[in-house]
Amino acid sequence: MLAACRTAVPPEPTVARTDGVVAASPHEVISLIRAGAAARGGRVANEGLDSLVIDFGATAARIAIPGEGGSGARGELRETEVHCTSLYVVRAAGEGTAVTVLDNPTYWHPDARIWLAGPHGVAPGSELLREFAAPSAR
């Protein structure tokens, strides 16, 4: 029914925020992010003086997809395509670098045939930060 009427309104994009502090200079941290993203198949989609947008591309994942009506976050576990981009913002902080990651995962709803906001557990951006950063006090 959801696919037939095509009147379903996709939810507002949701963004997961992760903060951390890395014991390195901002330049070194940007290099770490680049290398870690490349190792995960990601590419730099945009770059600023103190930020990087990484496109991690699309992968297959098994996630809970809401059924007809789309109510609630629970649904049937189904194989689908998941895509994630992550914005990394770096800034000098004391003897290290504070890093904020904003993950924006989306998934392809196979019945509605549209991209929707995805679950945060499939976004590799925060995972990458946790590899080389200590959690911040935020």
Q: How do residues 36-85 score in pLDDT, each as one tens digit?
A: 999 999 999 999 999 999 999 999 999 988 876 554 456 789 999 999 99
Predicted pLDDT of residue 97: 96
pTM of the model: 0.80
Report how far Cα 121 is from the mean position of its chain's Cα atoms: 9
Enumerate domains of the chain plus CATH numbers.
Answer: 2-6+17-135 (3.30.530)
Beta carbons of 56 and 36 less than 8 angstroms apart: no
Q: Give the integer Cα–Cα distance in Å for 25 and 62.
A: 38
- Structure confidence by residue, pLDDT tens digits, 104-131: 999 999 998 999 998 888 888 888 998 8
